[in-house]
Protein backbone atom coordinates (compact mmCIF):
# COMPACT_ATOMS: atom_id res chain seq x y z
CA UNK A 1 0.00 0.00 0.00
CA UNK A 2 1.00 3.66 -0.37
CA UNK A 3 2.26 5.29 2.83
CA UNK A 4 2.13 9.09 3.18
CA UNK A 5 5.09 11.15 4.31
CA UNK A 6 2.95 12.59 7.12
CA UNK A 7 2.23 9.10 8.49
CA UNK A 8 5.96 8.29 8.46
CA UNK A 9 6.69 11.59 10.23
CA UNK A 10 4.12 10.87 12.94
CA UNK A 11 5.47 7.38 13.54
CA UNK A 12 9.05 8.70 13.71
CA UNK A 13 8.05 11.29 16.31
CA UNK A 14 6.25 8.61 18.29
CA UNK A 15 8.93 5.92 18.20
CA UNK A 16 12.18 7.71 17.48
CA UNK A 17 12.99 5.09 14.86
CA UNK A 18 14.46 5.63 11.40
CA UNK A 19 12.46 6.76 8.38
CA UNK A 20 12.80 3.51 6.44
CA UNK A 21 11.95 1.39 9.49
CA UNK A 22 8.80 3.47 10.06
CA UNK A 23 7.76 3.20 6.42
CA UNK A 24 8.23 -0.58 6.44
CA UNK A 25 6.18 -0.97 9.63
CA UNK A 26 3.35 1.13 8.20
CA UNK A 27 3.28 -0.94 5.02
CA UNK A 28 3.10 -4.16 7.07
CA UNK A 29 0.22 -2.80 9.18
CA UNK A 30 -1.72 -1.17 6.33
CA UNK A 31 -1.05 2.33 7.62
CA UNK A 32 -2.31 1.74 11.19
CA UNK A 33 -0.12 3.97 13.40
CA UNK A 34 -0.92 2.16 16.66
CA UNK A 35 -0.31 -1.26 15.13
CA UNK A 36 2.91 -0.06 13.50
CA UNK A 37 4.22 1.33 16.80
CA UNK A 38 3.36 -1.93 18.56
CA UNK A 39 5.05 -3.97 15.83
CA UNK A 40 8.21 -1.89 16.15
CA UNK A 41 8.24 -2.34 19.93
CA UNK A 42 8.00 -6.10 19.45
CA UNK A 43 10.88 -5.96 16.98
CA UNK A 44 12.98 -3.88 19.38
CA UNK A 45 13.00 -0.93 17.01
CA UNK A 46 11.03 1.49 19.17
CA UNK A 47 13.18 1.90 22.26
CA UNK A 48 12.52 5.62 22.06
CA UNK A 49 8.71 5.23 22.12
CA UNK A 50 7.06 7.85 24.35
CA UNK A 51 10.40 9.54 25.07
CA UNK A 52 10.33 10.93 21.53
CA UNK A 53 7.37 13.12 22.48
CA UNK A 54 9.34 14.89 25.19
CA UNK A 55 10.78 18.31 24.45
CA UNK A 56 14.55 18.14 23.95
CA UNK A 57 15.80 21.72 24.17
CA UNK A 58 19.14 21.21 25.93
CA UNK A 59 22.22 19.70 24.33
CA UNK A 60 25.37 20.76 22.50
CA UNK A 61 26.58 22.13 19.20
CA UNK A 62 29.50 20.01 18.00
CA UNK A 63 32.12 21.33 15.56
CA UNK A 64 34.40 19.42 13.19
CA UNK A 65 37.00 21.03 10.88
CA UNK A 66 38.86 19.57 7.93
CA UNK A 67 42.62 19.09 8.12
CA UNK A 68 43.27 21.93 5.66
CA UNK A 69 40.91 24.31 7.45
CA UNK A 70 38.90 24.95 4.29
CA UNK A 71 35.74 23.14 5.42
CA UNK A 72 33.82 22.69 8.65
CA UNK A 73 30.60 21.17 9.92
CA UNK A 74 28.50 21.89 12.97
CA UNK A 75 25.58 19.88 14.33
CA UNK A 76 23.06 20.54 17.07
CA UNK A 77 22.24 17.44 19.10
CA UNK A 78 19.54 17.84 21.73
CA UNK A 79 18.56 16.14 24.96
CA UNK A 80 16.13 17.02 27.75
CA UNK A 81 18.44 18.20 30.55
CA UNK A 82 21.75 20.02 30.87
CA UNK A 83 22.93 17.17 33.10
CA UNK A 84 22.82 14.75 30.15
CA UNK A 85 24.30 17.44 27.87
CA UNK A 86 27.46 17.28 30.03
CA UNK A 87 27.54 13.47 30.01
CA UNK A 88 30.55 11.90 28.23
CA UNK A 89 28.58 9.43 26.09
CA UNK A 90 26.27 12.18 24.84
CA UNK A 91 29.13 14.54 24.00
CA UNK A 92 31.07 11.74 22.33
CA UNK A 93 28.05 10.87 20.19
CA UNK A 94 27.63 14.52 19.19
CA UNK A 95 31.28 14.80 18.19
CA UNK A 96 31.00 11.63 16.10
CA UNK A 97 27.93 13.01 14.31
CA UNK A 98 29.87 16.18 13.43
CA UNK A 99 32.70 14.09 11.96
CA UNK A 100 30.25 12.27 9.72
CA UNK A 101 28.48 15.51 8.75
CA UNK A 102 31.76 17.01 7.50
CA UNK A 103 32.18 14.41 4.76
CA UNK A 104 28.70 12.92 4.23
CA UNK A 105 27.23 15.73 2.13
CA UNK A 106 23.80 14.97 3.59
CA UNK A 107 20.99 17.19 2.32
CA UNK A 108 18.96 16.96 5.54
CA UNK A 109 18.93 15.35 8.97
CA UNK A 110 17.16 12.21 7.76
CA UNK A 111 19.93 11.61 5.26
CA UNK A 112 22.61 12.41 7.84
CA UNK A 113 21.42 9.99 10.51
CA UNK A 114 21.25 7.17 7.96
CA UNK A 115 25.05 7.33 7.64
CA UNK A 116 27.23 4.88 9.52
CA UNK A 117 29.62 5.73 12.31
CA UNK A 118 33.09 4.25 12.62
CA UNK A 119 31.58 1.56 14.85
CA UNK A 120 29.49 0.29 11.93
CA UNK A 121 26.09 1.28 13.32
CA UNK A 122 24.12 4.16 11.83
CA UNK A 123 23.85 7.47 13.63
CA UNK A 124 20.17 6.77 14.25
CA UNK A 125 20.85 3.32 15.67
CA UNK A 126 23.40 4.81 18.05
CA UNK A 127 20.98 7.61 18.96
CA UNK A 128 18.25 5.15 19.91
CA UNK A 129 20.69 3.03 21.88
CA UNK A 130 21.65 6.14 23.87
CA UNK A 131 18.00 6.91 24.57
CA UNK A 132 17.57 3.41 25.96
CA UNK A 133 20.72 3.77 28.08
CA UNK A 134 20.29 7.33 29.34
CA UNK A 135 16.50 7.50 29.52
CA UNK A 136 16.03 10.87 27.82
CA UNK A 137 14.84 11.87 24.37
CA UNK A 138 17.84 12.61 22.13
CA UNK A 139 17.56 14.17 18.69
CA UNK A 140 19.89 15.30 15.95
CA UNK A 141 18.12 18.56 15.21
CA UNK A 142 20.13 20.24 12.44
CA UNK A 143 23.50 20.42 10.76
CA UNK A 144 25.39 22.77 8.48
CA UNK A 145 28.57 22.48 6.44
CA UNK A 146 30.57 25.31 4.92
CA UNK A 147 33.62 25.50 2.65
CA UNK A 148 35.72 28.42 1.44
CA UNK A 149 38.18 28.96 -1.37
CA UNK A 150 39.56 31.79 0.76
CA UNK A 151 39.51 31.50 4.55
CA UNK A 152 37.01 29.78 6.82
CA UNK A 153 36.46 30.93 10.38
CA UNK A 154 35.01 28.44 12.88
CA UNK A 155 34.37 29.41 16.48
CA UNK A 156 32.60 27.51 19.27
CA UNK A 157 31.72 29.24 22.52
CA UNK A 158 31.51 26.56 25.19
CA UNK A 159 29.27 23.82 23.86
CA UNK A 160 26.11 25.83 23.16
CA UNK A 161 26.98 28.37 20.44
CA UNK A 162 28.93 27.89 17.23
CA UNK A 163 29.49 30.02 14.13
CA UNK A 164 31.05 29.55 10.70
CA UNK A 165 32.15 32.40 8.39
CA UNK A 166 33.60 32.08 4.87
CA UNK A 167 35.54 35.04 3.48
CA UNK A 168 37.48 36.01 0.39
CA UNK A 169 40.52 38.18 1.02
CA UNK A 170 41.89 38.97 4.45
CA UNK A 171 43.53 36.18 6.41
CA UNK A 172 42.80 33.27 8.76
CA UNK A 173 42.89 35.51 11.84
CA UNK A 174 40.22 37.79 10.36
CA UNK A 175 37.99 34.81 9.52
CA UNK A 176 38.30 33.54 13.10
CA UNK A 177 37.52 36.98 14.55
CA UNK A 178 34.44 37.27 12.34
CA UNK A 179 33.20 33.86 13.45
CA UNK A 180 33.68 34.93 17.06
CA UNK A 181 31.75 38.14 16.36
CA UNK A 182 28.84 36.24 14.76
CA UNK A 183 28.73 33.89 17.74
CA UNK A 184 28.55 36.85 20.14
CA UNK A 185 26.29 39.24 18.21
CA UNK A 186 23.86 36.89 16.42
CA UNK A 187 23.19 39.01 13.29
CA UNK A 188 19.92 38.22 11.53
CA UNK A 189 21.07 39.47 8.11
CA UNK A 190 24.31 40.15 6.27
CA UNK A 191 23.51 43.74 5.25
CA UNK A 192 20.73 46.28 5.80
CA UNK A 193 19.66 45.70 2.19
CA UNK A 194 18.83 42.09 3.10
CA UNK A 195 16.24 43.06 5.71
CA UNK A 196 12.75 42.28 4.30
CA UNK A 197 10.67 45.30 3.28
CA UNK A 198 7.73 44.27 5.47
CA UNK A 199 9.98 44.19 8.54
CA UNK A 200 11.35 47.65 7.71
CA UNK A 201 7.80 48.96 7.24
CA UNK A 202 6.76 47.54 10.61
CA UNK A 203 9.73 49.12 12.35
CA UNK A 204 8.95 52.46 10.67
CA UNK A 205 5.33 52.26 11.88
CA UNK A 206 6.42 51.53 15.45
CA UNK A 207 9.04 54.28 15.53
CA UNK A 208 6.64 56.81 13.99
CA UNK A 209 4.02 56.14 16.68
CA UNK A 210 6.68 56.47 19.39
CA UNK A 211 7.96 59.77 17.98
CA UNK A 212 4.46 61.24 17.61
CA UNK A 213 3.70 60.24 21.21
CA UNK A 214 6.66 62.37 22.25
CA UNK A 215 4.86 65.39 20.78
CA UNK A 216 7.47 66.24 18.17
CA UNK A 217 6.62 68.28 15.02
CA UNK A 218 5.92 66.25 11.86
CA UNK A 219 9.14 67.30 10.08
CA UNK A 220 11.22 66.38 13.13
CA UNK A 221 9.37 63.08 13.45
CA UNK A 222 10.38 62.04 9.93
CA UNK A 223 14.08 62.66 10.64
CA UNK A 224 13.91 60.92 14.02
CA UNK A 225 12.24 57.87 12.51
CA UNK A 226 14.78 57.48 9.71
CA UNK A 227 17.65 57.78 12.18
CA UNK A 228 16.15 55.15 14.45
CA UNK A 229 15.45 52.85 11.51
CA UNK A 230 19.08 53.03 10.43
CA UNK A 231 20.18 52.18 13.98
CA UNK A 232 17.80 49.20 14.13
CA UNK A 233 18.89 47.86 10.74
CA UNK A 234 22.55 48.14 11.72
CA UNK A 235 21.84 46.14 14.88
CA UNK A 236 20.21 43.37 12.85
CA UNK A 237 22.72 43.34 9.96
CA UNK A 238 26.24 41.93 10.36
CA UNK A 239 27.98 44.60 8.26
CA UNK A 240 26.52 47.44 10.31
CA UNK A 241 27.35 45.99 13.73
CA UNK A 242 30.25 47.36 15.82
CA UNK A 243 33.08 44.82 15.85
CA UNK A 244 33.14 43.07 19.25
CA UNK A 245 36.93 43.43 19.59
CA UNK A 246 36.92 47.10 18.51
CA UNK A 247 33.47 48.77 18.89
CA UNK A 248 34.80 51.97 17.29
CA UNK A 249 34.65 50.35 13.84
CA UNK A 250 31.88 48.44 12.12
CA UNK A 251 32.29 45.05 10.50
CA UNK A 252 31.91 46.76 7.12
CA UNK A 253 34.86 49.06 7.83
CA UNK A 254 36.89 46.16 9.19
CA UNK A 255 36.36 44.22 5.97
CA UNK A 256 37.14 47.22 3.77
CA UNK A 257 40.45 47.81 5.58
CA UNK A 258 41.40 44.15 5.07
CA UNK A 259 40.14 44.13 1.45
CA UNK A 260 37.93 41.18 2.35
CA UNK A 261 34.36 40.09 1.73
CA UNK A 262 32.03 37.78 3.65
CA UNK A 263 30.70 35.09 1.32
CA UNK A 264 28.59 33.16 3.85
CA UNK A 265 27.97 32.79 7.58
CA UNK A 266 25.95 30.51 9.83
CA UNK A 267 25.27 30.42 13.56
CA UNK A 268 23.77 27.69 15.78
CA UNK A 269 22.65 28.10 19.37
CA UNK A 270 21.34 25.19 21.40
CA UNK A 271 17.56 25.23 21.71
CA UNK A 272 17.02 28.36 19.58
CA UNK A 273 13.44 28.33 18.35
CA UNK A 274 12.37 25.33 20.43
CA UNK A 275 9.34 25.98 22.60
CA UNK A 276 10.06 24.69 26.06
CA UNK A 277 7.17 23.30 28.07
CA UNK A 278 6.70 25.03 31.41
CA UNK A 279 5.27 22.64 33.99
CA UNK A 280 2.59 24.13 36.24
CA UNK A 281 2.48 21.61 39.08
CA UNK A 282 0.21 23.75 41.27
CA UNK A 283 -2.25 24.14 38.41
CA UNK A 284 -2.21 20.42 37.72
CA UNK A 285 -2.91 19.58 41.39
CA UNK A 286 -5.75 22.10 41.58
CA UNK A 287 -7.28 20.73 38.40
CA UNK A 288 -7.19 17.20 39.82
CA UNK A 289 -8.75 18.38 43.12
CA UNK A 290 -11.57 20.12 41.26
CA UNK A 291 -12.14 17.08 39.06
CA UNK A 292 -12.31 14.71 42.01
CA UNK A 293 -14.71 16.98 43.92
CA UNK A 294 -16.95 17.37 40.89
CA UNK A 295 -16.75 21.17 40.99
Q: Can you give the CATH number for the domain in which 219 is found?
A: 1.10.286.20
CB-based contacts of 212: which residues, under 8 Å, 6+ apart? 221
Distance CA 14, CA 147 (A): 36
Domain count, the chain: 3
For 106-150, write each residue's pLDDT tens digit: 999 999 999 999 999 999 999 989 988 888 899 999 999 999 999
Q: Is residue 103 domain-shared with residue 127, that is, in the same domain?
A: yes
**Is 27 found in the same domain as 77?**
no
pLDDT, residue 155, reads 97
> Do residue 103 and residue 69 come from a single domain?
yes
Task: Report whether 63 contacts 98 (CB < 8 A).
Answer: yes
**Same domain, yes or no, for 85 and 36?**
no
pTM surpassing 0.75? no
Q: Is 45 exposed, middle or buried (0-12, 13-18, 19+ CB in 10 A)?
A: buried
Q: Say whether both 112 and 42 belong to one domain.
A: no
Identify the pLDDT of residue 2: 77
Q: Which residues contact 279 (CB under 8 A, 6 or more apart)?
A: none
The verdict on 76 and 143 lying in the same domain is yes
Q: Which CATH number goes with the domain that contains 83?
A: 3.30.479.20
Is there a domain that residue 273 lies in? no
Q: Which of 147, 180, 200 is the last residue of a domain?
A: 147
Same domain, 141 and 198: no
Distance, CA of 280 to CA of 55 (rounded, Å): 15
The rounded distance, in Å, linking the Cα atoms of 263 and 253 is: 16
Asked if residue 13 belongs to a domain, the reply is: yes
Judge if 62 and 142 occupy the same domain.
Answer: yes
Domain membership of residue 126 (yes or no) is yes
- Expressed as residue numbers, the domain containing 223 is 192-258
Residue 100 lies in a domain: yes
Residue 196 domain flag: yes
| Residues 83, 15 within the same domain | no
Mean pLDDT for the chain overall? 86
Q: What is the CATH number of the domain that holds 40?
A: 1.10.8.10
What was the pLDDT predicted at 279?
47
Name the pLDDT band for 1 (thresholds 50, 70, 90).
Answer: low
Whether residues 114 and 48 share a domain: the answer is: no
Residues 45 and 125 in one domain: no
| 154-172 confidence digits (pLDDT tens) | 999 999 999 999 999 999 9
pLDDT band at 176 (very low <50, low <70, confident <90, very high): very high
Establish if 249 belongs to a structural domain. yes
**According to the model, what pLDDT value does residue 281 have?**
44
**Is it the case that residue 199 has pLDDT exceeding 70?**
yes
Residues 32 and 78 in one domain: no
Indicate whether 134 belongs to any domain.
yes
Cα separation, 91 vs 88, whole angstroms: 5
Q: Is 18 part of any domain?
A: yes
Amino acid sequence: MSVTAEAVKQLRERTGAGMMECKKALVETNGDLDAAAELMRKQGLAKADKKAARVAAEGVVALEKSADGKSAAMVEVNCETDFVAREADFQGFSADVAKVALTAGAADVDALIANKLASGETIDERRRALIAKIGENITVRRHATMSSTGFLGAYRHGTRICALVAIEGGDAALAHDLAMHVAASNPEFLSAADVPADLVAKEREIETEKALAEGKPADIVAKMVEGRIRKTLNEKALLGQPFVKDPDQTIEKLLKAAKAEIKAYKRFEVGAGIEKKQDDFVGEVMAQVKASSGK
